[in-house]
Amino acid sequence: MLGTTVDGLLDGEVPAIAQETTEARRKLARCLATLVALFILYLIVNIVDVAFMRGEWNHTAHYVCSGIRITLAAASIPVAKRMRAITRGRELGDVVSIMMFVEGYPEGQEPPNNVFYRTVLTNIPALYTLFLVALAAVFIAIVYA
Instruction: Report pLDDT digits (tens) over 54-71.
Output: 667 778 888 898 999 999
Task: Grade residue 30 by pLDDT with cuts at 50, 70 and 90.
Answer: very high
Query: How remote is the C-alpha of 141 from its chain's centroid?
Result: 29
Closest CA to 97 of 85, 83, 86, 111: 111
Domain limits of the chain? 6-144
Kindly write down the DSSP assignment for every residue of 1-35, as one continuous string. Answer: --SS-HHHHTTTHHHHHHHHHHHHHHHHHHHHHHH
Which of helix, strand or coil describes residue 101? helix
State the average pLDDT over residues 9-31: 79
Alpha carbons within 13 A on the beta-carbon side of 9: 6
Q: How far apart are CA 32 and CA 35, in angstroms?
A: 5
pTM over 0.85: no
Residue 140: the pLDDT is 83
Residues of the chain with pLDDT > 90: what percent?
Answer: 37
